[in-house]
């Protein structure tokens, strides 16, 4: 049976650290920072682009609707 690291507490990780080599600790530190940076950027992107999901802010579809409307009203243009 393998250990489920997703359930490791900060205390458990703290207890494991002295058993790791410096190289392993540095690698773990890099991975943690990469994870945090990616998570924060992903969240920031989701928040920045969330307005695109707002129907009132859907400029592209509004333009398409106006284009279709003008074709229907003026079919010879």
Can you give the pLDDT of all 77 residues of the chain as single tens digits? 566 767 888 899 899 999 999 999 999 999 999 988 888 888 877 777 776 666 666 666 656 665 555 555 565 55
- pLDDT value at residue 17: 92
In the block, tokens 């205390």 appear at 11
- Please indicate, yes or no, whether the overall pTM of this predicted structure exceeds 0.85: no
pLDDT for 69 equals 52
Q: What is the pLDDT of residue 62?
A: 59
pLDDT of residue 61: 63
Q: b vs e for 34-66, b when ≥16 Cβ sit within 10 Å of the residue's Cβ?
A: eeeeeeeeeeeeeeeeeeeeeeeeeeeeeeeee
């Amino acid at each position: 049976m393998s250990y489920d690291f997703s359930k490791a507490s900060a205390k458990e990780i703290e207890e494991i650290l002295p058993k790791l080599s410096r190289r392993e600790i540095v690698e773990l530190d890099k991975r943690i920072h990469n994870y945090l940076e990616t998570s924060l950027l992903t969240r920031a992107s989701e928040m920045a682009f969330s307005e695109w999901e707002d129907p009132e802010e859907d400029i592209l579809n509004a333009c398409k609707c106006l284009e279709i409307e003008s074709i229907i009203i003026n079919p010879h243009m």
